[in-house]
Amino acid sequence: MKDTAANVLIAVVVSVLMVTAALAAYDRWVLRPSLIVGVVDLQEVYRAKETQFTQLLMQTGSDEERQQALAMARSFSQRLPAALDELPRECGCLVVLKAAVAGGPTAIDLTPALRRKVDLP
């Protein structure tokens, strides 16, 4: 009889410990990262690149320089989606447009990181 009660107690303790460990792991790797939101001001990045492109076009005189400016714009249009895809993996958070978020203590501004990825000062 005593052996059966001890076995039941051990089984209950082991079960409680396993459930506690599973809940802690879920909280650490699933729940908490989803509570952190990274925001990106995509309009700011576009405006900055547009200004850079316009200045480059205004300063250039030859067709070759204009082609280089167009190549820069094409390169930006290819790098931007890739950079936006990298941000959630790097921060381990949900990334949304800054205009879609009203704020909050867990919102992280990732715009500077995006600017670095697309070669903007």
Q: Is residue 17 part of a domain?
A: yes
Residue 102 has pLDDT above 80, yes or no: no
DSSP 105: T
What is the residue-wise DSSP string for 10-77? HHHHHHHHHHHHHHHHHIIIIIHHHH-EEEE-HHHHHHHHHHHHHHHHHH--SHHHHHHHHHHHHHHH
Nearest residue to 98 (alpha-carbon basis) of 110, 81, 114 = 110
CB 101, CB 39: distance < 8 Å: yes
In a domain, 119, yes or no: no
Domain residues for the domain of 22 are 1-35
| Structure tokens belonging to residue 107 | 């919102």
Q: How many domains does the chain have?
A: 1
The per-residue pLDDT for range 16-59, each reduced to its tens digit, is 999 999 999 998 888 876 778 889 999 999 999 999 888 888 88
